[in-house]
Structure 1
């Protein structure tokens, strides 16, 4: 477990729901990954992300899926792409990433609380 933080510190991490509108292979990445474009609604807009999720997901199976992502980290250069959000997941029993997503469709841009 990580160190204890205050609720105010937790609120600094802006986790939002978005819908994947585009997904494609990312052969330039050091580890197998998929490039994503995620729509977070009118206020935040469409953001790019790179996710190492190739064990459980294919690009064509991701379009239309809602996911959770941190939207207020600074952009990060991943190979030739600038990743604008951190798409969230948890490890399965083998350590492979499983995406976090709502169990019911919700409006894009909704904040985790």
Structure 2
């Protein structure tokens, strides 16, 4: 399916820095709770199924891309406010997407 550039622009993808990460044992599938600094947009939370490749302590300081204009979603006792983006590895496990050089938080992907 082909979409227009205007359709693509509706998806607000920004960069944020992980400022806190914790295991999320209450989730149905193994996950990590993330708190992201999105610069002028403030702090947002996300639940991410990324336990195969990431340890919570190693995530602090990592910049990641996330969709910020989806409706928040309740994941057990946790409200996930943004969707952190990743790609599947050969086994279908998520590998996070982020810049390879530091960039300002809240920068929009285009």
Normalised-by-shorter TM-score class? over 0.9
Distance in 1 (CA, whole Å) between partners of 2:53 and 2:82 is: 20
Where in structure 2 are there 5+ consecutive unaligned residues? none
Aligned residues: 110
Out of 8, 28, 34, the residue aligned to residue 36 of structure 1 is 34
Distance in 1 (CA, whole Å) between partners of 2:21 and 2:71 is: 21
Where in structure 1 are there 5+ consecutive unaligned residues? none
Distance in 2 (CA, whole Å) between partners of 1:46 and 1:105 is: 18
TM-score, normalised via structure 2 length: 0.99
Matches within 5 A, 1:1-113: 3-42=1-40, 44-113=41-110
Distance in 1 (CA, whole Å) between partners of 2:90 and 2:29 is: 19
Root-mean-square deviation (Å): 0.4
Runs of 4+ in 1 over 6 A off after TM superposition: none
Distance in 2 (CA, whole Å) between partners of 1:76 and 1:65 is: 23
Post-superposition CA distance 1:37-91 (Å, at most 9, x none): 000002x110000000000000000000000000000100111111000000000
